[in-house]
Structures are given as structure tokens and as C-alpha cells.
Structure 1
Amino acid sequence: MMRLPIILPLVLCLSACSLQPELRMPSAPVPAHFPAENQASGSGLPASALGWRAMFGDPRLQRLIELALENNRDLRLATLNVQAAQPLADIAGAARLPAVGLEGERTRERTLDSGSSRSGAVSQHNGLNVALSAFELDLFGRVRSLSDAALARYLASQHGREAAQIALVGAVAEAYFAQRLADEQVQLAEQTQADWNQSLALARLLKQSDQSSSLDVAQAESQVALADAELEAGRRRLLLANNALQLVLGSPLPADLPPAQPLERQPVIARLPAGLPADLLLNRPDLQQAEQVLVAANADIGAARAAFFPQISLTASFGYASTSLGDLFDPASQVWRFAPQISQPLFQGGRLRAELRLAEIRKSEAIALYERAVQSAFREVADALAGTASFDHQIEAQLRAVTAAEHRLHLSDLRYRAGLDGRLELLDAQRQLQAARQSLLALRGADIANRVALYKSLGGGLYARDAQENVAINAAR
């Protein structure tokens, strides 16, 4: 007598062959090293292990990043995608195991006597079975390939969530520093406006004492009007920067934020160890996501190939059946049923071949997307390293330009008051100083934005470690 407890171990011991093609990851289509002249001489932990609290020391920015991680809708959607992908992977994996259920029934019925219209006796039937329902013997790896593809997509969603967090941390930092730049530009515009108003007042006094002409007053009034227009433009940029920051946070700006620090004294780490381009494959979740998408596409090919071969499913049950509850578990009441089924596709109008071609095309697309992601990552790091190597020298040179412009303005003002130079010379010195200060401010903003870009492009932003935690981790390493 064949029994289900004997069948199950035999079923579970069947090893499926796999029709998945061997997956060979494409070589990274980038140079083996970043450009030598762009290498940053960083030390300590790699950026991917460096906590954003250590990277960005401004307490106000740290608080904003905390709010964004709690409230940003894009990150919330990415988290929900991970949560949805996990049960899908579990469902696909469950198909590799037999579904066993317990079925109990009791039936009572009354029928007509044979050849008569009179009611016959009442009969009853009792049954209790352990049943195996339509379990596919995965001899050609179709179910296994589908399970592998679902697992890879789940892992891809996890890496996608990590990539979304890195992008969010970088976006908050970029929006915050853009807001600080806009605010300091407004402050500079207000200072410039005050200087031009003071210059206008001086021109009017000199006109009243017949020491200057109406042309000098008109020129000063024109400069004040231009300063007013620039101030209004700066205030508009600040409002837009506030809106952008609030959007990326996903909530209004709290009133109890720590005070902001000026760009000149922002505690942002300037130099980070870049390592080799191959390190990006381990440190950037978006590249790991693209890799898992490729793994899933390769598994889909195995499932599409297996669909050409026979599918064998097994339905079986073992239990007891009796007309009396008292005799239900009597050994003589044992019943069993074994019903294997085989299905071989013969003609489906080319559907199976089309599905296989589609799976192969999807794999080619995944390879192209993976290679493009690697190239984009290499470009982002190389560009940020180029900025790291040049911004310090450029800011130092611009500081010298500001100092020289301040000295020139001081001398021009003395000569104008003494009547040695005309108004045009003073105006030119004032314009030069204003332009030099604006350029210095823009350079500082660009320098910090480049630091954020390098941190993000190297995979930083997953951890919230502060400086002390990073020191301890680095010492342990």
C-alpha cells in the first residue's frame, strides 16, 4: 500500500536541473583607475561607511536630514516597495514546496429507492485526509527559476530603498546649502544697497556744496535702483530655495531648528578616499540594484526555457473514510489517492518562443542598464574629484581678489573725496568689489555642493554615525 508519508520524502528529494544560462557579469566599461590628477588624498573610512552626522557637522542640517528620513514621501514609497516585494518573493519560493492540507468532511444524504418514488434510507459519510494538491515536480527548474527571479527582485528593491536614502540625504544637503547661499546672497545685496545709498547721500551733499555735478547724483541714483532690483531678485531666490527645502523634507520647517552656520565656516569634510572604480560596485546600492535586476532577468530566461518541457504535477491524499464516526480511525478505514499528471505543450502559436525571445531581450536591456549605471557612477565620482582638486586654489585666489578690490575702493573713495578722481572711478571700484564678493560667495557654495556630490557618488548617506562612532569603527578596522 502506497502512503503519503512515503511519497513526500521522495518528492522533496527530487533535484531539479536548471535551464538558466550561466550569468557572467559584464566587465565594468570604465578605466581601472580614476584620473590620476583628480585623485583625492582622503584618509580614514570610505565614504560609504562614513555617517552623515560626521560628514555634515552643522546641527541644523543634521536635524533637517532626520526630518526628511521620517517624512519624505519618495523614501516612504521605496520602503513600501521593499515591503511589497518580500511577500512576492515568499509566494514564489513557497511554490517550490508541496502545499499540504488537512481536509475533513461529513456528509448525510437521503436518496430514493431504486425503481420507486419512495424515500430510501439515510446514509452518511465521514472522512479525514491529509492532501497534497497539484504540486509541480520541478524537474526542469521552472519553479526554481521563478523563485530566483522573485528573490532577486526583492533584493533589488532593498538596494533601491538604500539608493533612495542616499539620494535623499544628498538632496537635503544640496537644498540646505542652496538655501544658505541664497540667504547670504540676500545679505550681501542688502549690504550693497546700503553702500550705494550712502554713496548717493554723499553725492547729494557734494552737489549741494557745488563740489559735484548733477551727473554724479544721477549715476548714484541709477546704482541704488540696480541694487534694489538685485535685492528683490535675491529675496525671490531665497523663497524658492525655502520651498525646495520644504518639499524635500516632506514637512514644514520647524521653528526650533538650531541656528544656521555661514558657508565660510560649514563643517563639511572636504576630502574623501575615492578608492578604485571597482569599489563602487560594492559601495553604491544603485549599482547593486542594477546587478540584481540582471540576475532576475537571467532567471526569467531559465523559466522561459523550462516552459518548453513537460510539466509534471502531483495530487495525492492519505486518510480515513467511514460511514460511522466511531470506525473512522480504524486501520481498515484507511484510504489513499495518488494522481500524477503530465502536461506537454504541443502547439501554442509561437507563444513560448516569443516569451523566450522577450526574456533574452530583457536580459540584454538589463546588461545595458547595468553598464550605463556603472559609467554614470564613474563620471559622477571623477567630476567630483576634479572639483575637489581645484576649488581650494580657486577660492584662495578669489579671496586675494576681494582683498585687492577692497583696497582699491578705499583708495578711490579717498581720492574722490579729495577731488582728485571723478565719480566714474569710484563707481568702477565699487562694482568691482561687489562682483568679487558675489563670485567668492558663489564659489563657496559650489565647493560645498561638490563635497556633497562626492560623498553621494561614493555611496555615502546610509548611516547616521557621528564623528566619534566613525573614529571607533576606523580604529577597529
Structure 2
Amino acid sequence: MCTLLPVERRERHSVVRVARAVALAAGVVLVAACTVGPNFSRPATPRVQRYDASDALGMASGGQPQSLSPAVQMRDDWWTSFGCRAIDMAVDEALTGNVTLEHGEATLRRSEYLLRAGAGVFFPQVDARGDASRQRFSPLRTGVDAPASIFNLFTLSATVSYTLDIWGGERRQVEALAAQAEAQRYTLVATYLTLAANVVNAMIARAAYSDEIAATREMVELVREQVHITQAQVAAGASAWSAVLSLQNELATLEASLPGLEQKRIETEHLLALLAGMYPEQWSGPAVSLAEIALPGVLPQTLPSSLVRRRPDILQAEAVLHVASAEIGVATAALFPQIALSASGGVESAVLHSLGTPAGQAWSVAAGVTAPVFHGGALWFQRKAALEAYNESSAAYREVVLAAFAQVADALRALEHDSQTVAAQTRAVQAAGEALQLIKEAYRAGTVGYLQILVADGQYHQARIAWLQAIAQRLQDTVALYAALGGGLIADS
């Protein structure tokens, strides 16, 4: 009976050791589950019901109506709503060749690779090493009076190390990398949206310049004909020479406006080439008139609360805020002790063929704790700086949101005023056209001269040029609304 007591005691000690080991492991797991720093939560949506005092588009009589409807969804190819094949082709060309997009895509890929690289901290770090050297060893260094020896030394070794992420600093760092990649993704989406809007605006401007150039050239011919008629009247003594000078001044003014319009159209074409990633001489596009560009009649109506979940610049600012939040955790974890585990093993031999024999084996297992004691306040103030960086990003986020709401409100108001302007310009063109028709009828009846027809025709062309400018502005403000609403590239969430 007595011979069994030591065995029982040893078993009891073994059980205690196992229990302690299990308790220690459980404690380590519980501690490792701790992650310091704030957990990021998305900013609340603004508590507003409308973008402006009135979100409805006020319609003026005589203009083509536009309205907002929640039934119309934002599409990622929103530019197709203008019904112009030339615009569709120009946008497709830009989306496939734009250099800024190429740059943004490369930056996004770099961010994703950095994220994958940062996630490697969660795995043990394993390194292998091989050395071959020839050495001369002097025993005198160890206090032994013996002759020196020359020998070869071959070494193979491996090292395994792992840092316990007790306070979650590494997890917060990877979280920050993930948020940075997310921010870059939304930056790229914003680039897509801006690029498409710039291309559509440039195509509208190009069409408007072309139509305005054509109308101005017609006016030049009309004024030139008036000059000839008035010169004939002066020769016949029926008119004063001052009338000719006045018409010549008007003619010169119109002719002087043509090069400026041509330059603006050429600059627009050069801009389209730049957006498409081409040299100016490489870009060419079909001639487009404003009559070929349809005005979208029903526009998407989105809730103000959904804007912060679909505008890429707002989502990018939110991702940057997430980065700042994670950086607080990184700075906080640096205030606490860090534990690192490591193990190494290898074999050494003076001759290569006997490498790996038991006599040359060596290994070590180590655990190290590093605790900050005194850094002159650097770690503490780094955390304070991280907190202020978060406050800075929070203010920047709110600024982006406010600017986005202002852009939507501006676009809605601009479309309302554009409708009124187009309606008024339409009435002006109709009135000038009717006056021209009446004067033509009076000319056929012999009650007025041909000069009055030319004057009325010039007034009609002037009214038409103003109408073309109003139409182009309304189309571009429609583009601005699509862009302000996020362009449909990101679904509501």
C-alpha cells in the first residue's frame, strides 16, 4: 500500500500542472481577445427631410418639363438618359483609356496588396538560413594555451517567431489598412463619376459651340447683305453713310466673335482627347448638335438620408474616419507590454557530409516581454495626436456631407431656374420668328423693304443663340444633379 503513494502523488502533481497549464492558456486566450481603442461605427445619417426648402422642380410654361420621381432609380450608366450615341461612345472611350483611372486602379491594387501584407502579422514568421565559412580560431581567447586551428563551418538553421497581439494593436493596424483600401476604392469610384460627368459636359459644350458658330455665321451673312443693301441706298441718296458704318461695326463684332467660339470648341475637343487618354491629334468624334441630345424628363428622387450611403466622396471620407479610429487603437496598444515568442534550431558541422549529426544540433526557445517604461511622453502624446486626428477626420467628414447637400440643393435650384430661363428664351425665339414671318408677308405685299427682313432675321438669330445657351446650361445642370446624387455607381445601403 505504501509503495503506491508516490505514484498517486506524482499523478496528483501531474493533474495540477495540467490544470495550471489549461488555466494559463485560457487566460492568454482571454487576454488576446482584448482589443483596445474604439470600435468604429458609421456616422449617423443627417436628420433632414429635404435638400432645400423645396425639392420640387418648379416648371415654367413653354419649357420642356422635368420632374423628380422616387420610382426612377440611379443607374451606373446614367449618361445614356441623354439619348445621344456620340455621348455614349465618348464616355466609353474615356472609361477605357483615361490615365487618371489607370493611376487610381494601380493605387487601389497597391492598397490591397499592403492590406494582405499587413495581415501576415497574424501568422508565425518562419525564416531559414544557411551559412558556410572558413575560420581561424585561437584558444587563447578562452584562456587555453594551445595552437590556433583553421577549420570550415557549415550551418543550417531555422527561426520561428510570433508576437502575441494581446492588446489588439496589430488587429487595429490591419483594420486601418483595410479602411485605407476602402477609401482608395471609393476614391476610384469618385474618379469614375467625375470623369463621366466631365465627358458629358464637354460633349454638351462642344455641341453648343458648334450650334452657336453656325448661327453666328448665318448672322454674319445677314449683316453682310444688309451692308450691301445700305451701301446701295447711300449711293441712291436714300440713306446716310452712318447707317453703313453702324452695320459694318456690327459685322466686324460678329466676325470677331467667331474665332473665340472656334477656339472654345477646339479646346473642348482637346479636353475630350485628354480625358480619353489620347493626344489631341488622335481624338476625333462625330459632329453633334444640341438637337441630338435629349433632356431627361424624369430625374431620380433620392432621400437626403440615403445620400451619405451612395456618394463616393462621402464614403471615402467615412473610410478615412475609420482609419483614424483604428489608429487610436494602434497608439493605445503601444502603451502596454508586448509579448513575443520565438524558437530557433539548427545544425553545425565542420564537414558538409556530416551536417545533421546529433553532436552539431542546437536549439533555443524563448519568450520576451517588452514594456514601455519611459519614452519622454512620446507614446502618450502619440495617442493624443491620434485622438485629434480622429477629430480632424470627423470634421472633414461633416464638411464633405454639408458640401454634398449644398451641391444637390444648388443643382435642383439651378434646374428650376433653367426651366424658367428656357421657357422665356423659347418665347423670345417664337416672338422673333413670328415677327420675321409678318415682315416677310409685308414685304411680299410691298409695304416694307427687304432691309427690314434682314434686320428681323438678325434679331431672330440673336434670340436663337441665347436659347441655345440656355438649353446647354440646362443640360449641364442636369449632369450636375446626376453627379451630385452619386451617379448610381454605388447602390443604396
Q: TM-score, normalised by structure 2?
A: 0.80
Query: In the aligned structure 2, how far is the partner of 1:262 from the partner of 1:123?
Result: 86
Residues 28 and 371 of structure 1 are in contact (CA less than 8 Å); yes or no, is this contact kept in structure 2? no
Aligned to 2:44: 27
Residues 94 and 275 of structure 2 are in contact (CA less than 8 Å); yes or no, is this contact kept in structure 1? yes
Per-residue Cα deviation, 1:18-55 (whole angstroms, up to 9, x for no partner)? 111243433344623334443643365522x3324633
Tell me, what secondary structure is at the counterpart of 2:49? Answer: coil
Query: In the aligned structure 2, how far is the partner of 1:456 from the partner of 1:87?
Result: 30
Indicate how the Cα distance of structure 1 residues 111 and 210 shifts in structure 2: closer, same or farther if over 3 A, else same: closer
Per-residue Cα deviation, 1:121-171 (whole angstroms, up to 9, x for no partner)? 857565444x213x3211111111111111111111111111111111111
Per-residue Cα deviation, 1:104-126 (whole angstroms, up to 9, x for no partner)? 55666564566556344857565
Query: In the aligned structure 2, how far is the partner of 1:438 from the partner of 1:399?
Result: 11
Aligned to 1:118: 147
Query: In the aligned structure 2, how far is the partner of 1:359 from the partner of 1:285?
Result: 25
Distance apart, 1:357 and its partner CA: 1.7
Residues 94 and 195 of structure 2 are in contact (CA less than 8 Å); yes or no, is this contact kept in structure 1? yes
Per-residue Cα deviation, 1:431-453 (whole angstroms, up to 9, x for no partner)? 64343212200111011101211
Q: Verify: 1:38 aligned to 2:66, yes or no.
A: no
Residues 99 and 132 of structure 1 are in contact (CA less than 8 Å); yes or no, is this contact kept in structure 2? yes
Residues 177 and 448 of structure 1 are in contact (CA less than 8 Å); yes or no, is this contact kept in structure 2? yes
Structure number with larger C-alpha Rg? 2
User: What are the residue-to-residue correspondences of 1:249-288 with 2, within 5 Å?
Assistant: 249-252=276-279, 257=284, 259-267=286-294, 269-288=296-315
Residues 320 and 333 of structure 1 are in contact (CA less than 8 Å); yes or no, is this contact kept in structure 2? yes
Aligned to 2:343: 316
Indicate how the Cα distance of structure 1 residues 112 and 354 shifts in structure 2: closer, same or farther if over 3 A, else same: closer
Distance apart, 1:58 and its partner CA: 2.3
Query: In the aligned structure 2, how far is the partner of 1:418 from the partner of 1:55?
Result: 48
Aligned mate of 2:273, from 226, 229, 246: 246
Query: In the aligned structure 1, how far is the partner of 2:247 from the partner of 2:150?
Result: 117
Query: In the aligned structure 2, how far is the partner of 1:203 from the partner of 1:417?
Result: 20
Indicate how the Cα distance of structure 1 residues 424 and 384 shifts in structure 2: closer, same or farther if over 3 A, else same: same
User: What are the residue-to-residue correspondences of 1:241-390 with 2, within 5 Å?
Assistant: 241-252=268-279, 257=284, 259-267=286-294, 269-318=296-345, 328=356, 335-390=362-417
Distance apart, 1:360 and its partner CA: 1.1
Q: Verify: 1:187 aligned to 2:187, yes or no.
A: no
Query: In the aligned structure 1, how far is the partner of 2:178 from the partner of 2:77?
Result: 29
Residues 226 and 454 of structure 2 are in contact (CA less than 8 Å); yes or no, is this contact kept in structure 1? no
Aligned partner letter, 1:62:
D
Unmatched runs of 5 consecutive residues or more in structure 1: 1-5, 464-472
Residues 182 and 241 of structure 1 are in contact (CA less than 8 Å); yes or no, is this contact kept in structure 2? no
Query: In the aligned structure 1, how far is the partner of 2:301 from the partner of 2:281?
Result: 36
Tell me, what secondary structure is at the counterpart of 2:279? Answer: coil
Tell me, what secondary structure is at the counterpart of 2:127? Answer: strand
Distance apart, 1:78 and its partner CA: 1.6
Aligned partner letter, 1:402:
V
Distance apart, 1:309 and its partner CA: 1.0
Tell me, what secondary structure is at the counterpart of 2:364? Answer: strand
The alignment-based identity, stated in percent, is: 27
Aligned mate of 2:463, from 426, 429, 436: 436
Query: In the aligned structure 1, how far is the partner of 2:218 from the partner of 2:148?
Result: 108
Aligned to 2:76: 50
Q: Verify: 1:224 aligned to 2:251, yes or no.
A: yes
Aligned to 1:470: none
Residues 68 and 250 of structure 1 are in contact (CA less than 8 Å); yes or no, is this contact kept in structure 2? yes
Q: Verify: 1:88 aligned to 2:114, yes or no.
A: yes
Aligned partner letter, 1:169:
A
Aligned mate of 1:132, from 147, 160, 164: 160
Unmatched runs of 5 consecutive residues or more in structure 2: 1-20, 58-66
Query: In the aligned structure 2, how far is the partner of 1:424 from the partner of 1:305?
Result: 86
Q: Verify: 1:459 aligned to 2:486, yes or no.
A: yes
Distance apart, 1:353 and its partner CA: 2.2
Query: In the aligned structure 2, how far is the partner of 1:127 from the partner of 1:418?
Result: 113
Superposed CA RMSD: 3.6
Tell me, what secondary structure is at the counterpart of 2:367? Answer: strand
Query: In the aligned structure 1, how far is the partner of 2:441 from the partner of 2:248?
Result: 21
Indicate how the Cα distance of structure 1 residues 53 and 25 shifts in structure 2: closer, same or farther if over 3 A, else same: closer
Query: In the aligned structure 2, how far is the partner of 1:31 from the partner of 1:302?
Result: 33
Query: In the aligned structure 1, how far is the partner of 2:331 from the partner of 2:214?
Result: 65
Residues 149 and 297 of structure 1 are in contact (CA less than 8 Å); yes or no, is this contact kept in structure 2? yes
Tell me, what secondary structure is at the counterpart of 1:63? Answer: helix
